[in-house]
Structure 1
Amino acid sequence: MTHSKQSRTKLIYALIAAAVLIVLLVWMQGGFKDKVEPGVSESVANGKAEERAPTVKVVRKAVEKIFAWPGTAAARTVAQIAPKIPGRILEIAVRAGDRVKKDQVLARLDERETRSRLGQARAALAAAEAQAGHARADARRIQNLYDKEAATRQALDAALAAARTAEAQVREARDAIREAESSQTETVLRAPFDGIIVERRLEPGDMALPGSPILVLQESQRLRIESAIPAECAGLVEIGDELKVRIANPERELDAVADEIQPAADPRTRTVLVKARLPEDSGVQPGAFGWLYQACGQDEVLLLPVSAVSRVGQLESVRLVVDDKVRLRHVRTGKRHDGQIEILSGLDEGDTVLLPEAGR
């Protein structure tokens, strides 16, 4: 019997605790306060909204559609550093990422072969000059004999032709020397302009061939952004137009000027390559990703002042005036236009929205 009474006592205490908890929850939810119509701000439910703060109406306007076309920063001038003569690479003085000055030595080739060719050319010149001297002496001797009627005209013509041939061989030998001397200077590769090394394709010990680049050099101070724009929008861009550019990393906005437009569209993508010049010394690295902004066409949008939209975390809302009462209305916004913002959903044209009070 005593056990039964204890069980009932515990049950009563549990019911009392549950009842107290329910009452507490109802009180925390405002269950004992006067009710205000759902969606209406309690502070203005009993008064006129227009008397408490200024209002503004949602308007529909035509605005330019701004598109962000992806692009890549590239140097206006790119040089493929390659030798004019074949040779084994002895030294490469720079690496990718190094900044270089004009005429700075970038690489050296083995010059033993060019020195050998130069020596051969000089020896050939000496031989040609000796042969030419002998031919000139023969021509003078035959001429004297011919004047004394001791030699035939045929012999004189042959001697003069041999002298002219020897002189031509001398000139050819001298040209070979100049070519060999020029080839010897080609064993040292220098930077044609100030820039940055972006690629190193060969290493010391490799065989360098004419037309095969050892290094790739880009002009680092004069860059532009290159972007493929749909043909219908690219037709609105003209040389000299000012365009906005946003670079991704580090994020920044720059002013650019269109300075080259591809004359024909790509038949596969229907796009036109547009190149816009970036400011000098912009600090942008070649190859950086960015966006080229361009106005293309117009669109009808709903607009509100930016200050009329409140944000709490990821939620955006406005205070909508309905029947002289203020209701909280969640909205979704879009792009900004000179102090106004697009309303994508949540409001209709002509809706009245409460603006924040001055000083708040």
Structure 2
Amino acid sequence: MNSNAELLKQLKIDKSHKEAPGGGPPWGRIAAIAGIVLILLAAGLGAWAFFGRRAVEVQTATAVAPASAGDAGAVLQATGYVTARRQATVSAQITGSLTEVLIEEGDRVTKGQVLARLEDNALRASLASAQANAAAAHANVTQNEAQLDQALRDATRQEALVGRGLVSKQIAEQTRTQANTFRAQLNTSRRQAQAADSQVGVAQVNLDYTVVRAPFDGVITDKAAQVGEIVSPLSAGGGFTRTGVGTIVDMDSLEIDVDVNEAYIGRVQPDMAAEAVLDAYPDWRIPAHVIAIVPAADRGKATVKVRVALEQKDGRIVPDMGVRVSFLEKRAAAHAEPPKGVMVPANAIVQRDGHDVAFVVTDEKARRRDITAAKPVNNDLRLVTAGLAAGETVITTPPDTVVDGTSVHVTQSAP
């Protein structure tokens, strides 16, 4: 500031100096003044360039097409994602090396369909051994049954001879004891045969574990392992061990999870009519309804999760798709046409020079748009009938310093 004051002092005309002989102007003094003016002008331009290049930090949102004519009766709009209530990462129940993987992403599978096979030579050998042991046990049962049958016949004859006095009673008792011994051996051999059959069952189950089957009808969304890799139901073994073969999603179980601001959750009721619009298909209106309001709030986001059912199933709907849900006072008519224009946050519309305007971010610059705004849909959204297009990024709560052409830096972007 002192240097500028000194420069201004030098601009004053010192009347003590006389004009150059001949009445001509003092060219030296004029040149000095012109130099000072140029210095001040350069300093001003430098300051303007420095502060003009500083980007204003702003928050943005995306202008979206209205869901339907029923938006006029929408009590709330929220964004969320498509989720599957029934999905599973399928794995083998034992550790083994994959010999076959029979799935690819996008394949439709049915319950019980074979998805993969593990190396099973050792388990097949164990099954064969168990079956041989079971066969031997059953042969022993047959032998004991024959011996018992013969012993019973011998005992019957000996008792008949005792009654006629041809043999002693001791011999008849010994024959009966031998028959009872064979009966006990037969019971033991039968129990051994049952144990052997159980071992066969265990070996068969272990062998079946080498075949990975689909637990329900669905679509493969992820193939997680290849032939030659080791699969284990446990998360051990490092990067060379896979815990799953693939992921199956039941497409009939798809629904929507949306986060509703807790300040507006009172507007949502179970079984309430709704309409969903996928981000991927903005012109497709899907009728829906509220399944349930999850009785838990997210402390960090101050939201409550709401489950919404899709009333139409379609192959275009896949998990994790972005979706916008309009909660309706009543179900929109099937023939209702969507209103013209786009939906934007209410705080994106400001008054400038007596007109409704919004600022669109283009190439990191704020561009002013004169718009025509309809009545508010709710406390959060307004319908803009002219001046904006769907998909454009608008600045929410633009500060007064933002004008057409201002450099901006987006710090937060809402869907």
Partner of 1:197: 220
Match for residue 140 of structure 2 among 126, 131, 136: 131
2:186 is aligned to 163
What's the TM-score once normalised by structure 1's chain length? 0.57
Alignment map for 1:52-67 (pairs within 5 Å): 66-67=75-76
Matched residue of 1:286: which SS? Answer: coil
Q: Structure 2: 5+ residue runs without aligned partners? A: 1-71, 159-171, 235-242, 330-338, 342-347, 358-372, 386-415
Please give the alpha-carbon distance, in whole angstroms, between the structure 2 residues aligned to 1:199 and 1:151: 74
Query: C-alpha offsets along residues 122-180 of structure 1, whole Å, 9 cap, x if unaligned?
Result: 10111111221232234334444554324277655443232112112223333443454
Distance 1:210 1:290, change over 3 A: same
Give the match for residue 106 of structure 2.
Answer: 98
Counterpart CA distance in 1 for 2:115 and 2:187 is: 45
Q: Deviation per CA, 1:57-98, whole angstroms, max 9, x where unpaired?
A: xxxxxx877433231112242132222343321122333x32
Contact 2:256–2:309 at 8 Å: present in 1 too?
A: yes
| Aligned residue-pair number | 257
Paired residue for 2:291?
Answer: 260
1:331 maps to what in 2?
Answer: 356
User: What SS does the aligned partner of 1:274 have?
Assistant: strand
| Residue 225 of structure 1: how far off its partner (Å) | 1.2
- Distance apart, 1:106 and its partner CA: 2.4
Aligned 1:42-191 pairs, distance under 5 A = 66-95=75-104, 97-102=105-110, 104-144=113-153, 146-147=155-156, 148=158, 149-151=172-174, 156-191=179-214
Mean Cα displacement is larger for which, 190-199 or 282-291?
Answer: 190-199
Name the counterpart of 2:247.
216
**8 Å CA contact 1:221, 1:281 repeated in 2:** no
SS at match of 2:191: helix
Q: Percent identity?
A: 22
**Change over 3 Å in CA distance of 1:158–1:267 after alignment to 2:** farther
CA distance in 2, matches of 1:154, 1:335: 105
What SS does the aligned partner of 1:164 have?
A: helix
CA contact (8 A) 2:102 2:116 kept: yes
Query: Tell me, what secondary structure is at the counterpart of 1:151?
Result: helix
Aligned to 1:358: none
**Corresponding position of 1:275:** 307
Equivalent in the alignment of 1:25: none
For residues 175 and 146 of structure 1, what CA distance do their matches in structure 2 show? 35
Over 3 Å counting, the alpha-carbon distance change for 1:234 and 1:214 in structure 2 is: farther
| Distance 1:206-1:215 versus aligned 2 partners, 3 A rule | same
Corresponding position of 2:14: none
The one-letter code matched in structure 1 to 2:288 is V
Q: Tell me, in whole angstroms, the C-alpha distance in 2 between the residues paired with 1:227 and 1:85.
A: 38
